[in-house]
Amino acid sequence: MKILAIGDPHGDLEKIKKIPIRNVDLILLTGDLGKADLARKKFFENVERKQKSLPKKEYTKKEIKEVYDEVYDSSINILKYLSTFAPVYTILGNVGSSDAETRKDEKKYKIKLHYLISGINNLENVSLIKNGLRNINGLRIGFLEYFVDTSWIKEFQEKDKLIINKAKKESDNAKRVLKSFRNLDILLCHQPPYGFLDKVTSRYNPPKSWIGKHAGSKLILDYVRKYRPRYVLCGHIHEGEGKKKIGKIEIYNLGVAGHVLINID
């Protein structure tokens, strides 16, 4: 089976189109499908404001509409293009909202917004998997959606109680999901295992206090060491793009629209 794995597209259709795609049986994506420049700018602006004890800067109606449109349109365009070559299986990263979150923002801002998950689910030859196991042509592939790991809370010294509580809930759920996967051929996840291809650098202008820290997941690392999937495919920390091994396990951080072709008999 010939599998093409592609890192976080972030809406860069031109870069995606430069990937040679010939006679592949399956395409896997590590999340963050759409372009999120506007959301990223606002997020890091508020991180800096928080560190200076300044109040959070809220979105205007116009800004929230622009953020949703940017993510939705670029995500759908990427998936439509790739699905003409082979079946596409993907997870969501930390870019893009659930339909429930979208509905909440519609009510809050009194505007009509695109529903990303519903839009993806309406596409042909595309499967969006949320914390699920699929047997595809005899291969066991686990799809783990993005979650805030409590190891991230500790590494980045997060003090916000709401974020801390969210991390505990999401980490507990991710632990249950990983345990249910047990032995896999491929683990497709958004963030890397802790300590492997996950170090934050100044390349993408993060807050200065983040530079040099590991943004990977200790839960994923523990799973990989215990159950030893053949491949781990991830993205999220773009400056960590590359390949490493834990024993015979091949770990690929595919960065922004990086790719690897995997042949499995």
- DSSP per residue over 161-208, as a string? HHHHHHHHHHHHHHHHHHHHH-S-SEEEESSPBTTSS-B--GGG---G
d(Cα 227, Cα 248) in Å, to the nearest integer? 12
Confidence of residue 244 (pLDDT cuts 50, 70, 90): very high
> CA of 84: how far to CAs of 5, 78, 199, in Å?
15, 11, 35
* SS3 assignment, position 93: coil
**Residues 134 and 141 sit within 8 Å (Cβ to Cβ):** yes
pLDDT at 40 over 80: no
Give the Cα separation of 27 and 19 in Å (integer): 12
On the question of pLDDT at 46 being above 80, the answer is no
| Cα torsion 12, 245, 153, 222: sign | positive
Residue 113 CA to residue 198 CA, distance in Å, equals 33
The percent of residues above 90 in pLDDT, for the chain, comes to 86
Q: What is the DSSP string of 11-43?
A: T-HHHHHTS---S-SEEEE-S--S--HHHHHHH
Domains and CATH numbers, the chain: 2-263 (3.60.21.10)
User: In whole angstroms, what is the distance from residue 191 CA to residue 251 CA?
Assistant: 11
pLDDT value, residue 195: 97
Question: Are β-strands 231-234 and 186-189 bridged in parallel, bridged antiparallel, or unpaired?
Answer: parallel
Q: What is the pLDDT of residues 93-135, one digit of tens each?
A: 999 889 999 999 999 999 999 999 999 999 999 999 999 999 9
Q: What would the pLDDT profile of 66-93 be if each residue is shown by its tens digit? A: 999 999 999 999 999 999 999 999 999 9
Smallest CA-to-CA distance from 237 within 192, 194, 193 is with 192
Tell me the whole-structure pTM to 2 decimals.
Answer: 0.93
> pLDDT for 58-71, tens place per residue?
889 999 999 999 99
Q: Give residue 48's pLDDT band: very low, low, confident or very high (50, 70, 90).
A: confident
Average confidence (pLDDT) over 151-155? 95
58 neighbors 36 (Cβ within 8 angstroms): no
| Residue 254 binned pLDDT confidence (cut-offs 50, 70, 90) | very high
For residue 232, what are the β-bridge partners?
187, 251
Q: How confident is the model at residue 263 (pLDDT cuts 50, 70, 90)?
A: very high
pLDDT digits 0-9 by tens, 181-227 = 999 999 999 999 999 999 999 988 888 889 999 999 999 999 999 99
Return the pLDDT at 205.
Answer: 81
Q: What percent of the chain has pLDDT over 70?
A: 100
Q: Average pLDDT, whole number, for the chain? A: 95
- State the average pLDDT over residues 22-45: 90
